[in-house]
Amino acid sequence: MESNELHEIVIERNLLIELSDGATLSADLYRPASKGPFPALISFYPYHKDDFVGAMNEEPRRYFAARGYAHLLVDFRGLGGSSGVAWPAMDRAEGRDGAEAVEWIARQPWCDGNVGMWGLSYGGISSLKVGAENPPHLRAIVPIQGSADIYQDYLYPGGCATCLGGYGAWGSFMLAMNLVPPTNADHEGRWQTVWKERLEASEPYVFPWPDHPAHDEYWRAKAVDPAKIKVPTFIIGGWRDIFPEAMTSVFARLKCPKKLWMGPWMHTLPGLAPYEPLDYLHEMKRWFDHWLRGEKNGVADEAPVLINVQRANIWKHEREWPIARATLRAMYFGTAGTLGDAPAREEQGEAYAANPTVGIAAGLWDPMGLGVGMPLEQSEDDLNSLTYTSEPLTEDLEISGAPQATVFAEVTNGDDVNIVVKLCDVDPDTETSSLITTGWLRAACRNSADKIEPVPKGEVLEFRVALWSTSYQVPKGHRLRASVSCADFPRLWPTRTNPEIRLFFGGKRASAIQLPIVPPHSTPIDPLKLRRPAPPPPSPLRPVWKIERDLVAGEVAVATGEKNGFPLPQGGHIEVDHIATARVAKSRPEGASVAGNTKIHVNAPTIGDIEVATTSLISRDSMTLSARITRNGTVIFEKRWNK
């Protein structure tokens, strides 16, 4: 039977996968109604197959089942319909559970023994974790916008602690999500036993994070070494996502057959992206058809890299990443804010006092897939930073790769300093400044993120700041601008005091930024054949992104969240109202905070009317979290966590 022949679909809900320690993972199976066996796909999440991630994955599950695949959506241990106690966030044990699930799937009568895995965000993370376990029947994976090392990739980039995205947008939401009962409840009462177990053992995902500011064993134990993955791996990432560097870095370190897509996307499935959507389902199916079915469909012979060059909006194939023909162009900071191809002969310095509100124009790190938060015009942030701007370019300039800045600076005041370097494209006609990419480095992690070291005052230090990978064409006549500051709010927590630095350029302390410049192909690659998806149906999601200013207090607040609601497949309805707000005052960076408020309301057969309401208030020094659950109007659970 041909793989593209459409099948009727059979749906089996709440299959239980028993793990070796007695815990059971709950799974929904979408498979062809015709006689099998079939190759199988698994997606593995903490986001509930019966509600949130199930709604997001309805189309992909039906797509693959109609084309001859058995597709399983599986809940993490201790979450959704699965029993046991959830592992801490990003724990490597999630990969071991997933590997056991892969082998269970391979033994089922409807499976032919060939299993693939894919997922977005945490589903991409779990795909990498399971891939690194190399279960015998796993044949290929497709991680979409995930991470191999959550410390470096998101929570502590360059050793700088993340703020609104990690602790608010995602962390406060997951505090509520992890307390929600199985919403497809059985009449026998298993759902109550499972729910009671998780309520008694619950601990917020974010609770341990502030205790580990260095890349210590706590974080290393969660990380995945991509070099250990043996199965063919198709990486999909977005330049405006929270994981652009993670995805390109994973691809570069893989030693198996591999493929990479990088689009101009934020944190969402490529088929749902508001900018340049692509038919990722078709391309994933080609990948799985080749590696699970053995089809000779050309996948193994194609150029392995597809990237979108932003601003020019050019899609092109490359043979590798990083791109081998890229050359490094050093551009040096100079007098009067210049950026040039040669350093000044004489060493000079420039003083800078940190402003903790810098960064609000850089956009959101949005882990929730809200579809909002692209970078804004950067001029205000530029004015509150040290900036160095080039002459107009004499030709188009493609920057594809990871820029690297070398900043020589002396800390003149303050014990804790973040060095933030941004690269922007300045339009000469409008003087608008567009963000290309950013890099971060905590001064105390200047030698290694594995160790926090004191920052001496009065000593000129060399800071090597790695900017995240990108692909962007700066048009002829535009200018390049490098900016240096000590804040990127609300992406990063402000330091407790506003530090002061003196930045040096010229002479032996020539601060500079190195740009990976990519010329056109010397030998052309086959023309692109891009497929566009059908327009998605209207979404009930109402995203929130607000930037507010208190001109009297000198405070800025950035809020993100969502209101959402949808019917449940088993009957009933679920609604979420979530908001997280980060605040900082220019004169009081030590008072920065993130507050989160989440309500998840479920009305479903068997379980009745349940509301999970959580709050969180987090600063650099303290954390207060609370949860309150009612069932049919009666409080059945309350808990508070403090540190």
Structure token digits, residue 247: 């995805």
pLDDT category at 4 given cuts 50, 70, 90 is low
Q: What are phi and psi of 227, to 5 degrees?
A: -65, -20
Residue pair 165/558 in contact (Cβ under 8 Å)? The answer is no
pLDDT at site 528:
79
Residues 366-385 as b or e (16 or more Cβ within 10 Å = b): bbbbbbebbbbbbbebbebb
Q: Could you count the other beta carbons within 10 Å of the beta carbon of residue 480?
A: 23
Of 505, 304, 227, which is closest to residue 386 (Cα–Cα)? 505
Q: Which of 195, 179, 197, 173 is nearest to 606 (CA)?
A: 195
Distance CA 482, CA 382 (A): 9
9-149+220-318 is classed CATH 3.40.50.460: no
User: 438-447 pLDDT, tens per residue?
Assistant: 999 999 999 9
Spelled out in words, what is the top-level CATH class assigned to the domain 327-517? Answer: mainly beta
Q: How far apart are CA 477 and CA 301, in angstroms?
A: 39
User: pLDDT by residue (tens digit) across 56-73?
Assistant: 999 999 999 999 999 999
CB 403 within 8 Å of CB 481: no
Tens of pLDDT, residues 191-244: 999 999 999 898 999 999 999 999 999 999 999 999 999 999 999 999 999 999
Q: Reply yes or no on whether the pLDDT at 90 is more than 50.
A: yes
**Cα distance between the two ends of the chain:** 59
539 falls in which pLDDT band (50, 70, 90)?
A: confident
How confident is the prediction for the chain on average, in pLDDT? Answer: 96
Residue type, position 396, single letter:
D
Encode pLDDT of 564-597 as tens digits. 999 998 899 999 999 999 999 999 999 999 999 9
CB within 8 Å of 270: residues ≥ 6 apart: 144, 236, 238, 261, 263, 277, 278, 280
d(C-alpha 168, C-alpha 36), whole Å: 45
pLDDT tens digits for range 390-410:
999 999 999 999 999 999 999
pLDDT-based confidence at residue 5 (cuts at 50, 70, 90): low
Token pair 């974790």: residue: 129
Judge contact between 369 and 121, C-beta under 8 A. Answer: yes
User: Quick check: do 9-149+220-318 and 327-517 share a fold?
Assistant: no
321 vs 82: CA distance, rounded Å? 39
What number is the average pLDDT over the span 115-138?
A: 98
Contact at 8 Å (CB) between 120 and 111?
Answer: no
- Which of 395, 399, 599 has its CA nearest to residue 518? 399
pLDDT tens, residue by residue, 468-509: 999 999 999 999 999 999 999 999 999 999 999 999 999 999
Distance CA 426, CA 377 (A): 10
Could you give the CA distance from residue 330 to residue 535 in angstroms, rounded to a whole number? 43
Rounded CA gap, 511 and 387, in Å?
12
> What is the rounded average pLDDT of the residues 120-125?
98
What is the rounded distance in angstroms from the CA atom of residue 486 to the CA atom of residue 356? 7
Residues 372, 373, 376, 380, Cα dihedral to 10°: 140
DSSP structure string for 529-555: ---PPPPPPPP--EEEEEEEEETTTTE
Distance CA 498, CA 356 (A): 7
Per-domain residue ranges for the chain? 9-149+220-318, 162-212+537-643, 327-517
pTM greater than the 0.95 cutoff: yes
Burial code (b: 16+ CB inside 10 Å, e: under 16) for 148-182 equals bbbbbbbbbbbbbbbbbbbbbbbbbbbbbbbbbbb
